[in-house]
Every structure is written in C-alpha cells, then in structure tokens.
Amino acid sequence: MTEPYVIEMSETGGVEVLKQVARAPRSPGPGQALVRQTASGLNFIDTYHRTGLYPVKLPFVPGSEGAGVVEAIGEGVTNVAVGDRVAYLGAGTYSTHYTGSAATMVKLPDGVSEEDAAAVLLKGLTAWMLLFEVRRASPGETALVWAPVGGVGSLLVPWATSMGVKVIAVTSSEEKAARARSLGAQEVVLSSGDVASEVRALTGGAGVDVSYDSVGKNSAQASIDSLRPRGWWVSYGNASGPADPVAPTTLGGKGSLVLTRPGLFHFIGDGESMRRGAAALFGALRAGTIKAQVGQTFPLNEVAKAHQAIESGTTVGATLLLP
C-alpha cells in the first residue's frame, strides 16, 4: 500500500512548487470523518491557488474536491459510517487521506462511482449554480457557452440543452467543436474568429440572452458584444487571466446589461443549499441528462503534469488525480 502523503506548496509559482510530502492521516475530531481517497478532482481554481492569483496561507495543500471510502468517524457523526463511499468539497484534497467535516460529505448513490463523483461534484454544482441559482435558465432562450467541452462546460452544455436552452458554444478547435455539438450545442463558433459578429449573425442580429464566460480576459469583450439588451454576462472564471474592469456606463451603453461574478461557495454555504444542489446534480446524473466526462487521469504524485495539461487548454472533460 502507498505510504500516506500530501502534495504541499510552501511558496507560490510554477508547477515545481508542488511537492510530495509524507504525512500520516489526521484522526477525525468531533463531527469529522477520515476518508481514504480514491480520486481527487482537478479544478482550475487549484492553479489559481498555486500561482497566487487567489492568495492562500502557506504552507498549503491544494485540492478542492475528492471522493473515497470512510475509514473512521469522530464523535457525534451520524450521517456517514465507516465503509461508506462519499464525495465532498473541501480544502486540501491533494492527499491520500482527507479529514474534514462529515456534515459536508455526500453519500454516493448506487451506480455513481467515486471517480465519477470526483469528476462532477464541484463542476456539476457550478453548472447547477449557473443554470438555477444565479438566474434561472428558461426554455427558448439562447446562451453563449465558453469552454464547452471542459470540466464545467461538458456538464453545462447538456444540462442547459435539456432545459430547452439553445446553446452557442465557443471553443478553440474543430475537434472540440465536434465534441461540443455531440454534447448538445446547436451552433459552435471558433474563439480565433470574430465571436460577437458570428453570434449576431446566428441570432438574426438580436444577440444572446446570457454568456456563461469562464475564459475571462480574452473573452470579456466578445461576451459583452454578443448580448441582447438586458442580457447577462455571467463571468465565472479566469482561464485566460482575470477580465479587465468594466465601467457601469459601458453596461448601460450596451443595453442595460447585467454583470455578475458568481463563486460557488457563496451558493452552497449552508447545508440546505448544498443538499439541494447535490440532489439536483445526482438527479441529473441518474436521469442521464448529464454524464461524468473523465477526460484524463494522472497519478496524484504526477500532479505537476496535470496542472500543465489544464493550463495549456488541451484537456477535455474532467481531470482526476488518483492517489
């Protein structure tokens, strides 16, 4: 059996700051459970923590979600038991073992593997937040979806489509365009072209109701220029770097646009909303509306390669780290 370890960084920077460090699992305190992790989901936010874009207290064990089997529980824990298969969002999941609040752990329904759960929990809850909580997506509306075959995108596109939303996807290659179509996108525009002009042409000049924009710096202007009056620019990520500031008068001049910058943790802060989101997510998985899309896996101790892959824009679907 692998000796327990974590991936820790004691400074911010390139992938070389991610170091393997032997560490014994921490016994669960009251209300906590100790999980032997079988999969940890890689998320773009982990790269923001590594580079310092989102400041963290050092030394830091990155990783925001995981899944595995409960090995021990602390005093007062009733919602999970030893041997249960669980998934969770939490800090420090780049590790062979994870100890955290049991209340935030979701028991996996039969038929959902730990790998699939680690692939969909954070990214699928993000899709749920975008479609149901930030604003409710409506049948008949048109949405622009950036990075449509990535971790979040490959869940967002089919889920939106199932709600009757017409998706125009924006991606970087013909290969990814074909994949976006197979996920349900009705139209695809290449990010190398004039996205806003093509979107106008595809919508009879009207523009889209909403832009789900995870790209940030390189997509901001095209998102704004693609919206109909009173359309929503939902800027939820920074894959190309943070978007530049936008003056309120710009939003006014372009047609009373709405700009929001949602963060998942503000939408699942209490147990009730997390349970609601997880129920919607696992319901959509069970119904076949969305499917876990594990695009690539890396051994946990090769996490540097995984970060390079996601930062190069070459990954599709979710990326898993396997301890």
User: What residues make contact with ligand NDP under the rule CB under 6 A?
Assistant: 43-45, 122-123, 126, 147, 149-153, 171-172, 176, 191, 214-215, 218, 236-240, 262-264, 310-311, 313, 315
Q: Which is nearer to ligand NDP, 33 or 160 (CB)?
A: 160
Separation between Cα atoms, residue 320 and residue 317, nearest integer Å = 10
Separation between Cα atoms, residue 236 and residue 238, nearest integer Å = 7
Give rounded-to-5 percent helix, strand, coil for the chain: 35, 25, 40
Phi, psi of 189 (to 5 degrees): -120, 140
Q: Which is nearer to ligand NDP, 80 or 169 (CB)?
A: 169
Q: Which is nearer to ligand NDP, 72 or 304 (CB)?
A: 304
Separation between Cα atoms, residue 194 and residue 138, nearest integer Å = 27
User: For the CA atoms of 6, 11, 17, 19, what is the dihedral angle to 10 degrees?
Assistant: -20
CB of residue 172 vs ligand NDP: minimum separation in angstroms?
3
CB of residue 240 vs ligand NDP: minimum separation in angstroms?
3
User: For the CA atoms of 17, 18, 22, 27, what is the dihedral angle to 10 degrees?
Assistant: 120
CB of residue 176 vs ligand NDP: minimum separation in angstroms?
5
Q: Which is nearer to ligand NDP, 12 or 79 (CB)?
A: 12
As given in the structure block, the two tokens for residue 4 are 């327990």
Phi, psi of 273 (to 5 degrees): -70, -35
CB of residue 147 vs ligand NDP: minimum separation in angstroms?
4
From the list 18, 90, 23, the residue with the least C-alpha distance to 7 is: 18
Q: Which is nearer to ligand NDP, 69 or 190 (CB)?
A: 190
CB of residue 150 vs ligand NDP: minimum separation in angstroms?
2
The three-class DSSP label of residue 286 is helix
Q: Which is nearer to ligand NDP, 34 or 121 (CB)?
A: 121
Report yes or no: 67 and 124 within 8 Å, Cβ to Cβ.
no
CB of residue 145 vs ligand NDP: minimum separation in angstroms?
10
